A = this chain, B = another copy of it.
Amino acid sequence: MKRIAICTVLAATILVAAVVSLTTAAAPEGKANLGKLRHVVMFKFKDGTTPEQVKSIEDAFRALPSKIPEIVDFEWGTNNSPENKADGFTHCFFLTFRDDAGRAVYLPHPAHKEFGKVLRPHMEKVLVFDYVANE
């Protein structure tokens, strides 16, 4: 009987853990990220920037999360909107920081400054918009 009791307690504990983790997993992404600081960066490159140069800028930006742990999430893509309202911007990089403190580390970070050197010769314009995620 003692083994059955231990086994039952074990099963109950695991069940509670499973329910808790399933509840967490089931939360929509938006809910999970409410309150986090989103950092939206868009680029338009200068005429004459080659595909290889664009690729090198993409790769340099994509390398930043491995160098700056305050970037807690990172994704990017190129514009495919059919609405023709992107004002010439072709690239969007979407970074997430936990809070202002994460951004305060990121902005002056040496790796970020190095990226700027790769970008700057080819950049025609940039847009940066930061917001705290609300639902």
Contact = CB atoms under 8 A, between A and B. Distances in A.
Interface of A: 3-4, 7-8, 10-11, 14-15, 17-18, 21-22, 24-25, 28-30, 32-34, 38-40, 42, 62, 72-83, 85-87, 89, 92, 94, 96, 107, 126-135
Given A7-B7, A129-B86, A29 B96 contact: yes
Q: How many copies does the complex hold?
A: 2
Given A18-B14, A40-B92, A127-B87, A134 B28 contact: no
A29 B18 contact: no
B128 A30 contact: no
A81 to B, nearest CB: 4
B132 A80 contact: yes
Nearest to A104: B82
Contacts of A40: 40, 92, 94
